[in-house]
Copies of this chain bind each other. A is one copy, B any other.
Amino acid sequence: MTSGVVDAQAIDLCAVQRQVDAVLESFLAEKVRAAAGRGHPPEVVETVRDFLAAGGKRIRALLCVVGWHASGGHGDVTSAVRVAASLELFVAFALIHDDIMDDSASRRGRPAVHRVMRARLGGGERAERLGAGGALLVGNLALMWAQELLHTAPIESGRQRLVHGLYDAMLEEVMYGQYLDVMGTGRGADDVEAALRIIRYKTATATIERPLQLGAAVAGADDATMEVFTGLGLPLGEAFQLRDDLLDVFGSPDGACAPGLSDLREGKRTVLLALGLQNADLVQRARLDRLVGRADLEERDAAEIRDILFATGAREETERMITSRYEHVLRVLDGAGFPPSADRALRGLAVKATQYTS
């Protein structure tokens, strides 16, 4: 912590989250009304609303607003909050599409959107295809609404171009990251560098760096601040994803997050898996090759994989990577000279991001 002194200007992250949620709610309520007026099916907006309501820590939204504060934003925070809300709709889009591509059964403790659509259509092969189509369109609408929130944010006109440019860059980076992920799944799974590159595109920039920079751009930040956020974004984004990968396979030590099978069934090219494959002996490697990526993988197979990832030191090495990145983040913050309230909020978000539990 930077200071024991009471900070009258402390940023209330819970209040920020409530503001973001209020923008999303009112925006989507208007979409419900518009859909009713035009004879559009109501379930599209409802699906997006349910998705947002099901959870998510709004980490990107919080970073955006804190980035605005850290860059000297003052007065009316409306624009920053609206851009922050836009980021959450963007995340909804990305996850809905992700779940289609992986054919994931659930997300945030509920059936994935394409599964909901499939059920709505009855079932069978035809419903499977059309349900995926319906979910694809719901995802597209979430992206389009994200852009609409951006377009209608009262950003100072001289700053719009930079905000749009950062936003467009973020979208492109995430798509390329997903593309590498999808088209590369199952190939070169022992390549730690490739796995880190996917994180960098798919998560690091979009989850940390761009949200911070978007808030900063709305506040009219200088280049130096933008660079600090780049310096923060990569290590914190990587740590965030490495933690997420560990949680998916091992769950959380406190049991709040149960270990799962989804990454293992999907054969997701995580750093964790790459390290396991690299450090494995011939027998362990043969088992990993045989088990990881099997759609019918069972819990006892997952237990065997976990044992190998533990025995090879892959789990411990991933933990070390998280720690070293987290410490890097603290050093960057030490040198950044942000206002105490923003500095404290950023440190809190760094903990939240690297201990992410859902």
The residue from B41, B151, B176 contacting A179, defined by CB atoms under 8 A apart: B41
- Chain B residues whose C-beta falls within 8 Å of the C-beta of A138 in the assembled complex: 179
The residue from B39, B117, B141, B164 contacting A172, defined by CB atoms under 8 A apart: B141
Task: Decide if A185 touches B130 in the complex (CB within 8 Å).
Answer: yes
> Counting CB contacts under 8 A, is A77 at the interface?
no
Q: A97-B140, A161-B151, A164-B151 are in contact. Are A134 and B183 (CB under 8 A)?
A: yes
* Nearest Cβ on chain B to A180's Cβ, whole angstroms: 7
- Please tell me how many copies of the chain the complex holds: 2
The residue from B137, B147, B160 contacting A147, defined by CB atoms under 8 A apart: B147
Task: Decide if B130 touches A183 in the complex (CB within 8 Å).
Answer: yes
Q: How many residues of A contact B (CB 8 A)?
A: 49
The residue from B101, B134, B141, B145 contacting A182, defined by CB atoms under 8 A apart: B134
Q: A117-B183, A129-B101, A143-B143 are in contact. Are A137 and B168 (CB under 8 A)?
A: no
Task: Decide if B144 touches A182 in the complex (CB within 8 Å).
Answer: no
Q: How far is the CA of A317 from the CA of B185 in the complex (A)?
A: 51
Q: How far is the CA of A141 from the CA of B94 in the complex (A)?
A: 12
Chain A contact residues, majority secondary structure: helix
Task: Decide if A39 touches B175 in the complex (CB within 8 Å).
Answer: no
Task: Decide if B44 touches A176 in the complex (CB within 8 Å).
Answer: yes
> Counting CB contacts under 8 A, is A17 at the interface?
no
The residue from B140, B179, B186 contacting A175, defined by CB atoms under 8 A apart: B140
Per the 8 Å Cβ criterion, residues 228-263 of A in contact with B are none
> Counting CB contacts under 8 A, is A121 at the interface?
yes
Nearest neighbor of A138 in chain B, beta-carbon distance: B179
> Counting CB contacts under 8 A, is A80 at the interface?
no
Per the 8 Å Cβ criterion, residues 94-148 of A in contact with B are 97, 100-101, 103, 117, 120-121, 126, 129-130, 132-134, 136-138, 140-141, 143-145, 147-148
* Given A101-B129, A137-B178, 15 additional A-B pairs, CB 8 A: A40-B180, A41-B179, A44-B179, A101-B133, A101-B136, A130-B182, A130-B183, A133-B183, A137-B182, A141-B172, A143-B143, A147-B147, A147-B171, A152-B164, A157-B157
